[in-house]
Amino acid sequence: MLTKRIIPCLDIKEGRVVKGVKFLGLKDAGDPVSVGRAYDRQMADELVFLDITASYEKRKTLIALVEKIAKNIFMPFTVGGGIRGIKDIRDLLNAGADKVSINTSAVKYPQLIAESSGKFGSQCIVVAIDAKRNGRSKKWQVFINGGRTPTGLDALRWAKESARLGAGEILLTSMDHDGTKDGYDLELTKKISEEVKIPVIASGGAGELKHFRDIFKKTAASAALAASIFHYRQLTVREVKRYLNNNGIKVRL
């Protein structure tokens, strides 16, 4: 049985870590290099860096900052934001990223998933899906440009298509739960993680220890990503892992 992963996330705006609620009301949460180092010491399984305004502002991600963080941590490092093509992916991998996360460009140019996984290996390619429920329906719509632009795409259908094209992993963020601390979107995560044969990282809504237990006990998610509860020191990665281990969920201690 594979161990479940706990992954802190650095949402980056103007070179600083920020966090909001449902992608709005962003507040400063610190220097990304210092924050990254802290999670390395806490034995986080991976670190995700998302330049959340790069695609909307039609610019590339902050390569120099990626390099600086990569030199200061010793865990797998995923970087996303502003990736438009193969060159951008190569530049980020050369800067120290172990994986890249693509969202907007993957939706606009799905062939990028196939091309990049063919060139760099599917293990390097993470497709990020920002999903929001359509009213009271049982369907979720995909958003791009940092949650600003609806696409009309059904999230489940897009997850399956991304996997078919060669994505090695899906980073699934519930926009309805993001930053609320009310718990992960179990329904959305269960639906997608059971339909695709690649790992799914659940994101959006972690607020207390039992939320981590629930996402692993009630869905097939391979990893749980969280930001604000770690940034503002409500919990540490070590505390979450000890709790999960005590609840019969296998983690790397």
**What's the farthest any 2 CA atoms get from each other in the chain?**
45
Q: Which domain holds residue 20?
A: 5-246
Helix (H) or strand (E) holding 165: helix 155-165
**Amino acid making up residue 196:** V
Q: What is the CATH number of the domain that holds 216?
A: 3.20.20.70
Residue 253 lies in a domain: no
pLDDT given for residue 226 in this prediction: 96
Residue 176 lies in a domain: yes
Judge residue 180's burial from the number of C-beta atoms within 10 Å of its C-beta, 0-12 exposed, 13-18 middle, 19 or more buried. Answer: middle
Residues 214-229: pLDDT tens digits?
A: 999 999 999 999 998 9
| Residues 162, 127 contacting (CB under 8 angstroms) | yes
Q: Specify the long-range contacts of residues 242-246, CB closer than 8 Å, at least 24 apart.
A: 243/209, 243/212, 243/213, 244/4, 244/6, 244/212, 244/213, 244/216
Q: What's the pTM?
A: 0.92
Residue entry with tokens 């329904």: 187
Q: How far apart are CA 117 and CA 129, in angstroms?
A: 17
Active-site residues, by number, are: 11, 130
Q: How far apart are CA 98 and CA 187, in angstroms?
A: 30
Residue 252 lies in a domain: no
Helix (H) or strand (E) holding 23: none
Residue 67 lies in a domain: yes
Residues 7-63: pLDDT tens digits?
A: 999 988 878 888 666 655 567 667 899 999 999 999 999 999 988 766 556 556 688
Domains contained in the chain, number: 1
Structure tokens that stand for 235 in this block: 């919990």
Question: Nearest 10 degrees: CA dihedral of 192, 193, 199, 203?
Answer: 70
R_g (Cα) of the chain, nearest Å: 16
Residue 39 lies in a domain: yes
Question: Who contacts 233 (Cβ-Cβ below 8 Å, separation ≥6)?
Answer: none
Is the per-residue pLDDT at 182 higher than 90? Answer: yes
At 131, the pLDDT band (50, 70, 90 cuts) reads very high
Q: How far apart are CA 215 and CA 211, in angstroms?
A: 6
Residue 222 lies in a domain: yes
